[in-house]
Structures are given as C-alpha cells and as structure tokens.
Amino acid sequence: PRATTHMKIFPRTEFGDPILRAKAKPVPLVLVKKSGFPKLIAGMFHTMRRADGIGLAAPQIGLSYQLAVIQLAPTKHRKTLKASEKLALINPKLIRASKNKAYDWEGCLSLDGVRGKVPRHKTITVRYTDERGVAHTRTVTGFLARVFQHEIDHLNGTLYVDRMENMKTLSTITEFRKRAK
Ligand code: ZN
C-alpha cells in the first residue's frame, strides 16, 4: 500500500459527458515509449482498483484515446471473480466474434449504482498493443471476453446500456443483488 500512496487517482467522467460518446483517437505508438506513459497506465490501474472496478477506459478519465486497462479481481458485488493478470489494451480491435452470445449483469464506473443485463459475444479475438509496445492477437472467452467488449465499446463511444436488449432489467444495486444468482 505504501507504494501506491503517492499514485494519482484520476477524476472520472460520468454518463452524459460527451467524451463518453466520442470515438477515441488512436494512441500514437511513439507515446508508449515516453516517460509519462507508464505513470498514466499505473494511475489508471490505481484509479480502477480504488473504485472497485475491473476495467477502465481512457475516456472515463477524460482522455479521448484508444486505451483501456483490465484486471479481473474479486469486487464488492462479484466476490467470487477469479483474479486475472493486468492487461493494458492500446488501440484494440475486435477482429473476430462468436455468433453465440451470453447474457450477464454489467455495471460501469461511469454510471454509479446501476446494473443491467447485457448480451455479449462468448468468444472474441482482439488485436492490441500492450504498454511495452508489443503487439498481441488474443482470443478470450467468458467473463473476460465480456469485459474486453465493454472496454472496447468505451473507445467507440458505446455504453453498455446501448447493448441491452431488455431495458427493463436495468436495476439499482439493491435490486441487482436480489436478482443476480
Ligand atoms: Zn464502463
């Protein structure tokens, strides 16, 4: 914890802010090599964890760039979630998606206190660059695939409520806790 005491928590944007509706600009890869970049990534992970989140996209901290961080970990409302590695996605592109979809609850750090049931592709293949500038093509499935899709949507100005097929599932946290499992 001591190492994180000086780390920056970025102020977050909220639903209604036009930056969450804009298509984010690609990150110029020369930026990845600049000294401030690891600090930005570390600050995004820190901001995400402090908010009890498992994913955070740059537009959610007011930066309209194609950059997102993901790390699955148990949260207040998903206590059994298995921890994953830390992932930084730079300029991610969805290159394949299964026809099969799964429905599960989602929330968003930009919309406090609300959850909804969202259909997502079960398996996706994504091409992205990591925080060291290394390119990856990765196939992910299950809940991690859901989080990837949620974050990539953020970079295109799409929010999870746009993906919902049944808006009647939109619930407060209290109602969500009654209904989820
Ligand atoms: Zn979100």
**Average pLDDT of adjacent 10-residue blocks, the chain of 181 residues:** 69 98 97 92 96 97 98 90 94 98 97 96 98 97 97 98 97 91 66
Q: Which residues surround ligand 1, an ion (CB under 5 A)?
A: 108
3 state SS of 147: helix
Q: Which residue among the candidates 14, 106, 151, 165 is catalytic per the annotation?
A: 151
The values of phi and psi at residue 105, to 5°, are -75, 145
Burial class (CB in 10 A: 0-12, 13-18, 19+), 73: middle
Query: Cα(91)–Cα(160) distance, rounded to whole angstroms?
Result: 20
31-41 burial, b if ≥16 CB within 10 A, otherwise e?
ebeeeebeebb
pLDDT value at position 154?
Answer: 98
Distances (CA, A) of 1 to 4, 49, 78, 80, 147: 5, 12, 22, 23, 26
Query: Cα(108)–Cα(110) distance, rounded to whole angstroms?
Result: 5
For residue 164, the CA-to-ligand 1 centroid distance in Å is 13
For residue 146, the CA-to-ligand 1 centroid distance in Å is 11
pTM of the predicted model as reported, rounded to 2 decimal places: 0.94
151 in active site? yes
pLDDT value at position 3?
Answer: 55
For residue 54, the CA-to-ligand 1 centroid distance in Å is 9
pLDDT value at position 35?
Answer: 87
Q: In what order do the strands lie in the sheet containing 101-108?
A: 101-108, 111-121, 171-172
- Name the CA radius of gyration of the chain, rounded: 16
For residue 176, the CA-to-ligand 1 centroid distance in Å is 17
pLDDT value at position 4?
Answer: 52
The amino acid present at 19, given as its one-letter code, is I
